[in-house]
Structures are given as C-alpha cells and as structure tokens.
Copies of this chain bind each other. A is one copy, B any other.
C-alpha cells in the first residue's frame, strides 16, 4: 500500500566523494526505515547512493530523469520518470517532494535548492552550499549534523503543497 506516504527528495552531485556517498546512503536507509518514499534525479553519485540505501531497507525509490531513456537510471531506481526536458527536470524533482535533503552538490544541486526555496519547500543541508545576499547571510538552508538528523528535520518540516 503506497497511499499516504511522505515524499522526501535527496539531491546532490551526479559525481561525489566517498564521504558524500556514505552520507547519502545513510540518508536513504533512514528514509526507508521511516516509511518515506525517496525522490531523486535518478542518476549516479549522491542519487545512486541514496537509492542504494533506501533499497537496502525495502524502501521505494523514484528517479526523475532529465533525458529520453529509462536506461540512464541508476540500478536502484524502482520508478523511473522519463521527462526528456533536461535540467528543467530539477524543478520537478523538488516540487514532487515535501522536503529536500541536499548532500554536497554543485551548481545543479544549487539550482534545485533555489527552486525548492522559491516554492516554499524546506531544504535541509549536509555539507552543502551556504548562501548570502548583499553581504547578509541567508539561513534558509537548514543545517544538519548527520543523516538521521537530516531525515528527522525533513520530516518535521515537510509541507504539503
């Protein structure tokens, strides 16, 4: 039964360090343990590590892909969504989630963080971007010290749009 599940996105680089992969995998495991459906961009790096973690605990994983083929999905994606719209799919990744957990990441991840904040979707950060505007710090990205704290904060703040 999938009804009434919560959806959390995990975002981060398509390539990542071992430390980031370890964090993302543990985020995925914890999401699955708490019965949350994992949404991601469906590719490698942080996305694959998170899906691997979730799958290991019997969780459900959704990969919203940029290209034209489901073959591009990492092997732990159970539900590939094939958008064909390139990086514009970043908008769909965050909008399909009730909260977002960012692990590391480069400019693609920053675009997802931005789209989430623009839509009022909470963003929890693990070793990720920090923002300031006109020399004033912007504290919209909520820091977490570890994967469990990240998942707990995400679930606490999850919104329903």
B-contacting residues, A70-110, CB 8 Å: 70-71, 78-88, 91-92, 95-96, 104, 106-108, 110
> How many whole Å from A18's CB to the nearest CB in chain B?
15
Say whether A110 contacts B85, CB under 8 Å: no
Is chain A's binding surface mostly helix, strand, loop or mixed? mixed
Select from chain B the residue with minimum beta-carbon distance to A4: B78
Please, how many residues of chain A have a CB less than 8 angstroms from a CB on the other chain? 51
Say whether A85 contacts B88, CB under 8 Å: yes
Say whether B161 contacts A82, CB under 8 Å: yes
Q: A110-B131, A117-B107 are in contact. Are A85 and B78 (CB under 8 A)?
A: no
- Report the bound CA distance from A113 to B92 in whole Å: 18
- Report the bound CA distance from A80 to B81 in whole Å: 11
Interface residues of A, Cβ cutoff 8 Å to B: 2-3, 5, 7, 37, 60, 62, 64, 68-71, 78-88, 91-92, 95-96, 104, 106-108, 110-111, 113-115, 117-119, 127-135, 140, 160-161
Apart from A71-B161, A84-B92, A107-B118: 20 A-B pairs, beta carbons within 8 A: A7-B80, A68-B119, A69-B161, A70-B161, A71-B160, A82-B96, A83-B96, A87-B115, A87-B118, A87-B119, A88-B91, A108-B118, A110-B117, A110-B131, A114-B114, A127-B134, A128-B133, A128-B134, A130-B132, A130-B133
